């Protein structure tokens, strides 16, 4: 019986083997079971304005830092502020004991009254001797002496007035006020301490917080772009502190150093920022973006689409027949998650982003509907 069935089973087994081979071949040609091609995601080529950005690290610096010192000798009578407090221009900070100066002022005012009385008497004598000289009752010498006495008395009165102004100024200096809006630093001296002008001891510091500066340096190769931008309009600068999630602070470039640093090959710049919420703090390190101009016709692709081979940079374009085509490009710069390139790319062409490492020239690919992932970086 077995011998009779064997010729009939051989064709059935052959058909099963052929079917299994075709199934395996189809599976090999369709990785991931995706219907005949490598699954990929794409992103269109864009042509349009892209800012030219210069990246740098910067340090926040106050535009003005005032060291508060006494201009007169005296004991600190009262401290009106606390450490770290925000103050306004003209706000009292410290009051020194000025009783000695006020007593001196009273003495000088009394001396001034005496001097003015002497001026009145000397002027009257000069007038009287002038009339007597005309009637030959007084000599010319006596008249001239009376005139000199009147002038001397007037000079003494003016000198006393100057001393009074000086004393009043000392009393005014006994109240130390803020010279500008800003934030106070540490206050090492308290009420009861005696301060002297000659010792030049700092009572505290006052730091301007708004507006505020950010200083940074860029390579000298950017100097032509920077000079051209300064002739048009001061370029915009944005800064962001490390780990900050808010939108970057925006400012304007206000200073370009007059010389390139020969030791580092960089040039120092400063940008001014409004800082009403005190996001920027003096001494803080920030990431700086300077945009001297805008490239109006830049060709950009998604950053992860750019790959590096033995002959340079390239991207894969998904052709209309769903095959991958390699295009050589030159990477100009990176702007955010986009790469600015030069190459034979047309606006709207689909550049393969995810899955580009799994395709070669002519590989069939199937476009997925999900958005491309932009997490890798250009090496």
β-partners of residue 237 are: 251, 290
Size of the chain in residues: 379
Q: Residue 13 — very low, low, confident or very high, per pLDDT cuts 50/70/90?
A: very low
Looking at the fold, whether 147 and 76 belong to one and the same domain comes out as no
- CATH label of the domain that carries residue 201: 2.40.50.100
Give how many domains the chain has, as a whole number: 3
Looking at the fold, whether 123 and 162 belong to one and the same domain comes out as yes
Rounded Cα–Cα distance for residues 240 and 281 (Å): 12
Is 264 a member of any domain?
Answer: yes
Whole domain around residue 91: which residue ranges? 68-96+174-207
Is 236 a member of any domain?
Answer: yes
Looking at the fold, whether 180 and 87 belong to one and the same domain comes out as yes
- CATH label of the domain that carries residue 113: 1.10.287
Torsion, Cα of 190, 196, 199, 201 (10° steps): 30
What are the pLDDT digits (tens) for 105-142? 999 999 999 999 998 988 887 787 677 766 566 577 77
Question: Average pLDDT of the chain?
Answer: 85
β-partners of residue 222 are: none
Is 202 a member of any domain?
Answer: yes
Looking at the fold, whether 90 and 178 belong to one and the same domain comes out as yes
Is 196 a member of any domain?
Answer: yes
The three-class DSSP label of residue 82 is coil
Going by the DSSP 8-state scheme, the letter that residue 34 receives in this structure is -
Q: Residue 356 — very low, low, confident or very high, per pLDDT cuts 50/70/90?
A: confident
Looking at the fold, whether 123 and 183 belong to one and the same domain comes out as no
Looking at the fold, whether 148 and 245 belong to one and the same domain comes out as no
Whether 144 shows a pLDDT value over 70: the answer reads: yes
Rounded Cα–Cα distance for residues 267 and 217 (Å): 5
Q: Is 249 left (phi over 0), alpha (psi -120 to 50) or beta?
A: beta
Looking at the fold, whether 273 and 184 belong to one and the same domain comes out as no
Looking at the fold, whether 113 and 148 belong to one and the same domain comes out as yes
Q: Residue 23 — very low, low, confident or very high, per pLDDT cuts 50/70/90?
A: very low
Looking at the fold, whether 131 and 229 belong to one and the same domain comes out as no
Is 184 a member of any domain?
Answer: yes
- CATH label of the domain that carries residue 216: 2.40.30.170
């Amino acid at each position: 019986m077995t011998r009779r069935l064997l010729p009939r089973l051989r064709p059935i087994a052959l058909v099963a083997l052929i079917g299994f081979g075709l199934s395996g071949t189809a599976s090999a040609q369709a990785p991931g079971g995706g219907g005949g091609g490598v699954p990929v995601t794409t992103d269109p080529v864009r042509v349009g304005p892209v800012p030219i950005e210069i990246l740098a690290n910067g340090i926040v610096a106050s535009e003005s830092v005032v060291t508060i010192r006494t201009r007169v000798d005296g004991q600190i009578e009262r401290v009106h502020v606390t450490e770290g407090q925000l103050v306004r221009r003209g706000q009292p900070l410290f009051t020194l004991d000025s009783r000695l100066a006020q007593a001196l002022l009273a003495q000088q005012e009394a001396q001034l009254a005496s001097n003015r009385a002497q001026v009145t008497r000397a002027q009257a004598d000069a007038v009287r001797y002038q009339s007597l000289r005309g009637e030959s009752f007084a000599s010319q010498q006596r008249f001239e002496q009376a005139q000199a006495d009147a002038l001397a008395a007037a000079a003494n009165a003016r000198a006393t007035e100057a001393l009074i102004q000086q004393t009043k100024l000392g009393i005014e200096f006994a109240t130390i006020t803020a010279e500008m809006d800003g934030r106070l630093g540490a206050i090492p001296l308290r009420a009861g301490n005696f301060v002297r002008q000659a010792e030049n001891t700092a009572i505290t510091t006052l730091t301007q917080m708004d507006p505020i500066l950010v200083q940074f340096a860029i390579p000298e190769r950017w100097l032509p772009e920077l000079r051209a931008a300064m002739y048009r309009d001061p370029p915009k600068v944005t800064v962001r502190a490390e780990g900050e999630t808010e939108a970057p602070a925006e400012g304007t470039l206000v200073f370009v150093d007059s010389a390139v640093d020969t030791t580092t090959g960089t040039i120092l710049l400063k940008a001014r920022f409004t800082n009403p919420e005190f996001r920027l703090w003096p001494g803080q390190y920030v990431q700086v973006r300077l945009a001297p101009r805008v490239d109006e016709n830049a060709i950009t692709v998604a950053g992860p689409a750019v790959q590096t081979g033995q002959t340079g940079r390239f991207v894969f374009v998904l052709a209309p027949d769903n095959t991958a085509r390699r295009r050589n490009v030159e990477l100009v710069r990176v702007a955010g998650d986009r790469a600015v390139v030069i190459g034979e790319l047309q606006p709207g062409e689909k550049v393969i982003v995810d899955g580009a490492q799994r395709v070669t020239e002519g590989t069939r690919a199937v476009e997925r509907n999900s958005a491309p992932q932009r997490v890798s970086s250009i090496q």
